[in-house]
Structures are given as C-alpha cells and as structure tokens.
Structure 1
Amino acid sequence: MKWNKYTIETTTAAEDYMSAMLADLGIEGVEIEDNIPLSKEDQADMFIDFLPELPPDDGVSHVSFYLEDDGEDRTELLKQVKEALEDLRKVVDVGSGVITSDQTEDLDWINNWKKFFSSFYIDDILIKPTWEELKPEDADKFLIEIDPGVSFGTGKHETTQLCIRQLLKYIRGNDAYTPENRTPKVLDVGCGSGILSIVALKLGASAVVGTDLDPDCMTSTHENMEVNHLDPSLGTFYVGNLIDDAALQEKVGTEEYDIVVANILADVIIPMAPVIPARLKRGGYFITSGIIDFKENAVKEAIEAAGLTVVEINHQGEWVNITARKPE
C-alpha cells in the first residue's frame, strides 16, 4: 500500500497546536521532526544506547501526516488544512507554513512505535505496556497494563494524565465514595484503549460504560480489561456518537453516572456538552481534557452554558483539563 506524505514546515512552538489542528480535521498519527534535544525524562523512557547528535535547535519543526494513496481526491481536505493553518497564525507563530508532499510505502507503524513506550508512573499508578516484563521490585505496585493496539491511549499523553489525576482525586480522594457507602459509576466517552475505564475500575468504580466512534476500540478495551484481570461484567461498551445518536443516549442512560470522563478534543467536547448533564446524577462530575490551551475558554463557556459549574481547571504543557459539577 502506498501513502502520500504531507509535511508542514512550522515552528517548535506550534507543534502541539498543529497536531491538535490536524486531529480536529480527522487526521491522526502525525510525525514531528525537530532539533530539540530529548529531556532526561524522555531519555529514561526510551531504549536508546547512543543519542543522535543534533544540530543546534533553530526553532524550525516539520510536522508530517499521511493519507492513503487510494485514488480519492484529497483537494478539499488539503484546502481545509491550509485554511486552518492560516487561522493558527492568529494565536501562534507557525513559521513559513509551506506544505510539501512525497510518497512512501506502507510501514509497520502499529508495532514499530512500541519501542518508545515503556513503564512510567502517574502519581502512585504504574502504567506498563503488556509486552514489558514486570520488575520484581514493582510486584506490589498499583498496576495498570495497557496495549493500545490501534487505539489512542497509552497514558503517556498529557491529556490522559490530566484525566487520570482527576479520577484519582474524585474517586479515591472523595470521601463520599467509600465501601460502606457506594462506589461511583463512570461513563467514559471516547474510551479508546480503555485506559480511563480501567483506572476508574481499579480505583473502585462500581461499573463503567464506554463509548467510541471506532469499533477497534471495543476490541482494545475488552482485551485490556482482561489483561488487568477485571470482570467483563463491570464494563459495557458501545460504538456510536453520543452527541446526536438518540438510541445510544438511551442505551447509556439518564442520570446514571457519578462521573463522566471525556478525553477527546475541544471541537468534540463543545457540541457534546449539552448532552452531558442528562447523563450525570445530581452532584456528579464531568472530567474532560484533550483541550489545547487556546480553546480553553470556548470549552469552559460551552460547559457552563450546559448548566454545569466549573470547579477546577488544570494545565499540563499546552493541554487543559476542565472539571465541572452538576448542581445538587
């Protein structure tokens, strides 16, 4: 299979913005090339014996994305990319913005990336890829094992970490959810690999329900639940769009959940916000991320317009978490 590779010449300051912009257009799996040296933390997470010698960082970055060469006309999509690129200039220096194209043969992307995913901690939670051996000294740790497969969700991304820390706070750290009282029921919108559902269950959620547009996510989620020795009956997962699918909304239920978590994108959260309050119990929490910082206010306004009260906003890098609460 052949792929058309499109490369945008931009700046290192615009890399995350560019990735978010392309994701908003339905383009995933971007490749970023720059001369920024790896941090010590990044080096610790990668199996590299000798780091490459890079030229001095000149602030230039190349962000590439791939589209299958299947004969389909991509003119309109590329036009949208160029228009979105010009919009980005209003908020960040995108550099020249020149787009070049090339053609490449199919690669084993699904497996090649695994060399860059190794065990790491989020607070006291150890997240380990399924293909890595558990170290003896980690045998008693709070462990989550993940194989994302073709789905999003290793836990490495800032947005996933923001959501996990909020789940820690609002499940483990919430005195209302005790064994003597009740454990929360959680809705995971855009469940991906199932990592947030699994974290919620391991923290003590009574049950999770998940939704995603991609059928492959159902496979990844069920497999990851099995790897983590979780009873399949604790999780129910549906393919569909919660925004406008009335049948899915009915399956998911009304006022069923103590927590709704959504690690998606700002442009999905905004139209989804009006349907969230109906899913939550009174006093329930909406935990969301996937929000690039320049869209923080738009998402906050949409959540408030839906009738929820924003209780906290957290940042990690250029990404934002907004947590809101349904009135009692």
Structure 2
Amino acid sequence: MNWIKYSINTTTEAEDIVGATLMELGIVSIEIENNIPVDDGDRQGGVFEELQPDLPEDEGLSRVSFYLGEDEDHESLILQVKAALDELRDTMDIGQGTIDTSVTKQEDWINNWKQFFKSFYIDDILIKPTWEEIDPEDKGKIFVEIDPGVSFGTGKHETTQLCIRQLKKYLKAGDEILDVGCGSGILSIIANKLLDGNCHLVGTDIDEDCISSTYENFEVNHIDKSAGDFYVGNLIDDKDLQDKVGYEKYDVVVANILADIIIAMAPAIPPAMKDGAYFITSGIINFKENEVKDALEAVGLKILEINHQGEWVNITAQK
C-alpha cells in the first residue's frame, strides 16, 4: 500500500497548536520537522552522543505532516484541515499554512520510522524498539519493548510521559486498570511491568489494528495474553462496550487521548470506577485544560493534580 503524505508549512511557535488541531480532527499519526537544535540534556546519548547532523539555520519554520492511506476519504478530510487552518489564522500566526503532498511507499514508511525511534529513558524505565539489542548496563532494569506498527505509541510524546509518571505514582499491587485508547498498548505494558504482573488490564480503542498491535507488544514483552482484555469500540456511546468493560470495577483508569474526546467521554468514566479510584488523563493541549477540568468536575470527579510538559497537560482526578 502507498501512503499520501500531507505536509503543512507553518512556524515552530504554531507547530504544537497545528498538531493539536489535526488531532481534534482524528489525525493521530503526526510528524513534526524543524531545524531547532536538540539541547544536550534531551539527546538520547547525552552530550557525548555521536555528532548530530548539521542542520540549516533555524528560521522559525516547521512542517507538520500526516499520512493517509490510498483508500481513505482524502477530499473530505483535507477540506476540514484547510477550514481548521483558516480558523487558526484568525487567532495566531501560523506562517504560510499551505499543504504539500507526496507519496510514501509502505516499506519506506516502516524503514523511515525505524531511523527515528531509538531507545530512551522515562525516569528509570527504558523504552526500546524491538529491533534494537539491550545494552549490558541496562539489563535488570525495567524496560519495555515496543514495535509501534500502525498505532505509533512509543512513549516519546509528552502526553504519554505525563501518563507514565502518574501511573508510577498511583498504581498499587492488585489493581484493576482500564486503558482507554490503548494504541500500541504501551501504558498497559508499563502498568504490568511496574506491578510485576500483579494487576489485570482492560483496554479499548476505536481502531482494530491497535488491539492487534497491543497483543503483539504483549508477546514481545513476555506478558501473557490473559493479563489483559482489549476491545474495539467507542466508550462514549457504545453501551455493549460499556457493559463489557464493566461498572464500579477499576482502581485506575488511564486515557491518553484528545481533549474533546475526554470531554465527550467524561460521563462514561465514573460508572466504571470504584469509589476512591483514580482517573489519569492526558492528550490535552494547554488551551483545552479548563474545558477538560470542568467536564471532569461536572461528572463528580475531584481534581487531584494538573501537570504540564511543554504544551501538554495531565489531569489526575479521583472518584
């Protein structure tokens, strides 16, 4: 299969907002390219990492790209993207805001992705791609192997890291955990690893490929399939799915999804939670923070923490 790559020409200041706007339209696989040098502290190998390639001078420009398969409805979605960009122009400088198009073959997609996904740490947790060997000095530590496949969850994004740090804080042995919008399964896998398997996982995603990807990543992490039950569907309005997921069952619910989806889903979250359970969520761009907070409070959840990383927000609440 070939993929059509659409690249929005924008500015580095607007790239996160443009990316969040695409996510609000349901486009979740986003690539950002700019010439901002990587700070020493953010390099995967630190300041002594092999020399970084020389980049052109940073002129404040950025390209925010996304991919669509040949069989998808391109015309309708691109019209929505253009309309959303026009709305953004009314409130901020997004640069040119033009869209370039190119074709990427399936094999190029996979190989190009592997060039950019390298091992890295989130605090004391090592995240590594399946195609890299673990270094001798990392053996014995908590590590997670991920093959993002079509679902792309690697842990690199700020929203995933925010959720992981909250899981480390609130999980306890024996927990029932619900992962809403499980993607590649990375949050479920990390929860299992943090508790040494002493938990039960349930996950949902609207994309059937994500369920397959999650079980594949379970296998490469030596987690038995029986450790989790994962379902396709939308928890917002799918009563059958809500029944499968269950009621007053979970100690922790985690959702790394879009702000508008969290808001729409808010009424369905407390019924799934035990009294005293925690709801950990991110995927919230900063200008949506208050809307999500209000929606969670409106369904009776108490806000415990609000954390920020870059342009992104985590909200942790309790029933």
TM more than 0.5: yes
Quote the Cα distance in structure 1 between the aligned partners of 2:176 and 2:257: 20
CA spacing shift, 1:6–1:111, aligned 2, 3 Å? closer
Equivalent residue for 1:301, pick from 294, 297, 303: 294
**Cα displacement (A) at 1:22:** 1.1
8 A Cα contact 1:260 1:286, kept in partner: yes
Number of equivalences: 314
Quote the Cα distance in structure 2 between the aligned partners of 1:230 and 1:101: 42
**Cα displacement (A) at 1:59:** 1.2
Quote the Cα distance in structure 1 between the aligned partners of 2:241 and 2:135: 42
Once structures 1 and 2 are overlaid, which stretch shifts more, 271-280 or 34-43? 34-43
8 A Cα contact 2:29 2:152, kept in partner: no
1:107-186 mapped onto 2 (5 Å cutoff): 107=106, 108-171=108-171, 177=172, 183-186=174-177
The question of 1:200 aligning with 2:175 is answered no
SS at match of 1:13: coil
TM-score by length of 1: 0.88
CA spacing shift, 1:145–1:53, aligned 2, 3 Å? closer
Quote the Cα distance in structure 2 between the aligned partners of 1:300 and 1:114: 37
**Cα displacement (A) at 1:152:** 2.8
1:30-109 mapped onto 2 (5 Å cutoff): 30-44=30-44, 51-69=52-70, 74-89=74-89, 92-97=92-97, 99-107=98-106, 108-109=108-109
8 A Cα contact 2:8 2:100, kept in partner: no
Q: Deviations over 1:120-172 (max 9, x none)?
A: 1112112222211111111111122221221131111111110000000001x
CA spacing shift, 1:289–1:45, aligned 2, 3 Å? farther
The question of 1:280 aligning with 2:281 is answered no
Quote the Cα distance in structure 2 between the aligned partners of 1:44 and 1:319: 21
SS at match of 2:295: helix
SS at match of 2:153: coil
> Aligned AA for 1:106?
K
Quote the Cα distance in structure 1 between the aligned partners of 2:94 and 2:51: 31
The question of 1:312 aligning with 2:313 is answered no
8 A Cα contact 2:282 2:312, kept in partner: yes
Structure 1 vs Structure 2: percent identity of aligned residues?
A: 64
**Cα displacement (A) at 1:112:** 2.2
The question of 1:216 aligning with 2:209 is answered yes
CA spacing shift, 1:247–1:73, aligned 2, 3 Å? closer
Equivalent residue for 2:244, pick from 247, 251, 275: 251
8 A Cα contact 1:212 1:238, kept in partner: yes
Unaligned stretches of 5+ in structure 2? Answer: none
CA spacing shift, 1:189–1:105, aligned 2, 3 Å? closer
**Cα displacement (A) at 1:230:** 1.8
TM-score by length of 2: 0.91
Partner of 1:242: 235
8 A Cα contact 1:226 1:232, kept in partner: yes
Q: Deviations over 1:255-282 (max 9, x none)?
A: 0000000001112111001100000000
8 A Cα contact 1:45 1:116, kept in partner: no
CA RMSD across the alignment: 2.2
Quote the Cα distance in structure 2 between the aligned partners of 1:286 and 1:242: 15
